[in-house]
């Protein structure tokens, strides 16, 4: 009977030890330069501020061009007020290069959750958006004129044929506020990736990408992954983890209960070529924080050992008392159970 009680008490102690060896949820502030980051929530990117757009290279996008006054291209004799850029099923993924000409009007990009943002140090700086599903990237652009160079699109309004054009080169202009392009990521029906490569004008300082009046980018229970992170800034309730790796590239995984993205930025191309150039800043209540698979959140035992001597001693006395009480409870339970099973024992 005593052996059974002792075994039960050991199991209770082991359970308590496992609980105390796991991390407790903490408030984490992060400012992480990385190569790639998958959005946990819809974000509206503003390209009208410090990061004026210089060129757009789209793969697998479709949409329309509106508010036209003229189209210049060999063989084009008519100018409709608008035309569509259509993706044809079972054809190769189309591509489109858009070079807007100043003055530029409103430029915005909306990305849905699970779109991957990527940027490496380069001059001029570039931002890549990798689509996860159809219509999860929306691009809206206005400019006085723009050059459109494309392949594998059908444009019946201009070329009087529903057939795909192998390639075209158009210069379009429009009255104020200018030519309006509305484009979105197309269906993922081919093996080619659907993505947008945005080339920004060279900037001397970091380019903030989140729209100033965008809705709050709050998220909950959505894992965050930062690939190719270098010199990450991480604070756990105001303290930098002592085992945080900053001198070489790592992958940081955050498992939040809830949180919000504060800013997303592109770092100017002054760093080493290929260095992380995407910077994500935010705050979250976190239940796990891994760097290359290593947990950075302190366990309850670590927190207890970091307490002042008097407080730590009090905790150990309390835990010892709990273990003693549990031993007595289990001992009594085994005694009652034995009497029920063996009444004459």
Question: Do 168 and 309 fall into the same domain?
Answer: no
233, 92 in Cβ contact below 8 A? no
Question: Do 215 and 318 fall into the same domain?
Answer: no
Question: Do 223 and 319 fall into the same domain?
Answer: no
Give the pLDDT confidence score for residue 33 in this predicted structure: 94
**Which residues constitute the domain of residue 280?**
27-295
The total number of structural domains that make up the chain: 2
Q: Between these two residues, 310 and 57, which has the higher pLDDT value?
A: 57
Question: Do 107 and 38 fall into the same domain?
Answer: yes
Question: Do 88 and 232 fall into the same domain?
Answer: yes
Question: Do 13 and 33 fall into the same domain?
Answer: no
Question: Do 184 and 325 fall into the same domain?
Answer: no
Per residue in 261-286, pLDDT tens? 999 988 876 556 667 889 999 999 99
Question: Do 261 and 336 fall into the same domain?
Answer: no
Per residue in 116-165, pLDDT tens? 999 988 878 889 999 999 999 999 999 999 999 999 888 888 887 777 77
* Closest alpha carbon to 24 in 302, 311, 305: 302
C-alpha dihedral, 75 to 80 to 86 to 91, nearest 10° = -20
Question: Do 78 and 38 fall into the same domain?
Answer: yes
Written in H, E and C, the secondary structure of 4-25 is HHHHHHHHHHHHHHHHHHCECC
């Amino acid at each position: 009977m005593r052996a059974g009680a002792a075994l039960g008490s050991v199991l209770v102690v082991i359970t308590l030890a496992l609980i105390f060896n796991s991390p407790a949820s903490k408030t984490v502030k992060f400012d992480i330069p990385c190569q790639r980051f998958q959005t946990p929530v819809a974000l509206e990117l503003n390209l009208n501020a410090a990061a004026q757009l210089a060129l757009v290279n789209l793969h697998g996008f479709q949409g329309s061009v509106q508010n036209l006054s003229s189209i210049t291209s060999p063989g084009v004799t008519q100018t409709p007020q608008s035309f569509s850029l259509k993706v044809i099923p079972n054809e190769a993924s189309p591509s489109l290069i858009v070079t807007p000409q100043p003055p530029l009007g409103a430029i915005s990009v909306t990305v849905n959750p699970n779109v991957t943002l990527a940027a490496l140090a380069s001059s001029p700086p570039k931002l890549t958006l990798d689509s996860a599903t159809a219509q999860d990237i929306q691009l809206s652009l206005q400019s006085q004129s723009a050059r459109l160079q494309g392949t594998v699109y059908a444009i019946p309004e201009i070329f009087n044929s529903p057939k795909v054009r192998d390639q075209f080169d158009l210069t379009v202009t429009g009255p104020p506020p200018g030519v309006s392009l509305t484009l979105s990521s197309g269906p993922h029906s081919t093996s080619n990736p659907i993505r947008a490569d945005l080339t920004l004008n060279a900037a001397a300082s970091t380019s903030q990408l989140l729209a100033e009046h965008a809705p709050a980018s709050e998220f909950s229970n959505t894992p965050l992954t930062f690939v190719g992170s270098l010199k990450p800034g991480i604070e756990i309730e105001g303290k930098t983890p002592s085992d945080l790796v900053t001198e070489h590239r790592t992958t940081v995984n955050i498992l939040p209960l809830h949180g919000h993205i504060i800013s997303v930025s592109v770092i100017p191309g002054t760093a080493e070529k290929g260095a992380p150039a995407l910077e994500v800043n935010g705050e979250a209540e976190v239940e796990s924080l891994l760097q290359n698979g290593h947990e950075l959140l302190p366990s309850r035992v670590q927190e207890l050992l970091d307490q002042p001597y008097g407080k730590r001693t009090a905790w150990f006395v309390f835990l010892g008392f709990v273990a003693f009480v549990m031993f007595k409870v289990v001992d009594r339970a085994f005694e009652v159970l034995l009497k029920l099973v063996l009444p004459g024992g």
